[in-house]
Structure 1
Amino acid sequence: MQSVLNSSPIDTLLNTDAAQAIGKTHIAGKNVNLRQMRETAEDFEAVFLSQMLQPMFQNIRPESPFGGGHGEDVWRSMQVQEYGKAITKAGGIGIADAVMREMILMQEAQ
């Protein structure tokens, strides 16, 4: 367990519960909406995961049980996007945390 004395302000801000409770905070004298930063980071992770999942579905032929056809091919990309969103909503793979950390560091540097 990390001591309060050894923790950095960034670690505190990255705590999702704290970010939701605070909503807005000051970083380097600027108003920053942490909730909006978190949503942006999660959106980025969802898009990234969708791009990584896409090749898994490229060679699957649209057949039964859904009947297949051109329509299934058309909607498959939307299905993969939703898979990416669902994985992110369930906790993701940590990309959103890393992106948010970098966003906070960029705000501090400005």
Structure 2
Amino acid sequence: MDPLLNALPPAASAANLTSSYHDFDGLGKLKGQARTDSKSAMRETAQQFEALFLQMMMKSMRDASFKSDLVESGGKETFEAMFDKEVSLAMSRRNSIGLADMLLKHMPDPAAQASTADMLKSRGTQAMSLRPAPDKALPLQVSPVQLAPLPRPGGPMPLKEQRHE
């Protein structure tokens, strides 16, 4: 028996797994949840990131193992990918590796963050000048350079005279 089967929650129903795998409405619900309860939305987002990390790790582990052309098929690979997604979701819900906790520990509290308007007010009213200060600007030095005359169209280019002494 596959040891990854033990990672699935025992009370998980088939309908629950299907809704978690095919739930495209979940992002909209998460956005709405972020407006009302930002801490739980941050927790859910960190768990989804942990699930994505675990899924990529399992995919890399499957790709690293030896595969035979005799028993491999496209259907089996599709099933394994779907199974890995569900196992990674279940593992992240159980907080099995603790990545979501570490992410939450290093994320700032959204309630403690100042709004954009408050940040702009705290900057002050004086805007930064777009022109450099005159005392810091370097003077433009014009050097007298004599340019060679352009050749006539269709004619030979004139040669410079060289004196040999």
Alignment TM class, shorter chain as reference: 0.5 to 0.7
Provide structure 2 residue ranges, at least 5 long, that are not aligned to the other structure.
Answer: 1-35, 115-165
Structure 1 residue aligned with 2:43: 38
Identity %: 28
Q: How does 1:1-110 map to 2 (within 5 A)?
A: 33-58=38-63, 59=65, 61=67, 69-103=73-107, 105=108, 107=110, 108-110=112-114
Which has more radius of gyration?
2
Q: TM-score, normalised by structure 2?
A: 0.39
Q: CA deviation at 1:94?
A: 1.1
* 1:62–1:68 Cα contact (<8 Å) kept: yes
Corresponding pairs, count: 78
Q: Which has the higher strand share?
A: 1
After superposition, give the CA deviation of every residue in 1:54-93 in whole Å (9 maximum; x if it has no partner): 1221235489xxx752211123222211121111122221
Give the root-mean-square deviation of aligned CA atoms: 2.8
Q: CA deviation at 1:102?
A: 2.3
Provide structure 1 residue ranges, at least 5 long, that are not aligned to the other structure.
Answer: 1-30
Q: Which gives a bigger RCO, structure 1 or 2 (Cα 8 Å, sep 6+)?
A: 1
Q: Residue 82 and residue 33 in structure 1: after superposition, are their counterparts in 2 closer, same or farther (change >3 A)? A: same
Give the distance between the partners of 1:83 and 1:46, measured in 2 at CA. 8
Q: Which has the higher helix share?
A: 1
Give the distance between the partners of 2:93 and 2:53, measured in 1 at CA. 13
Letter in 1 for 2:83: Q
Q: TM-score, normalised by structure 1?
A: 0.55
Letter in 1 for 2:44: E
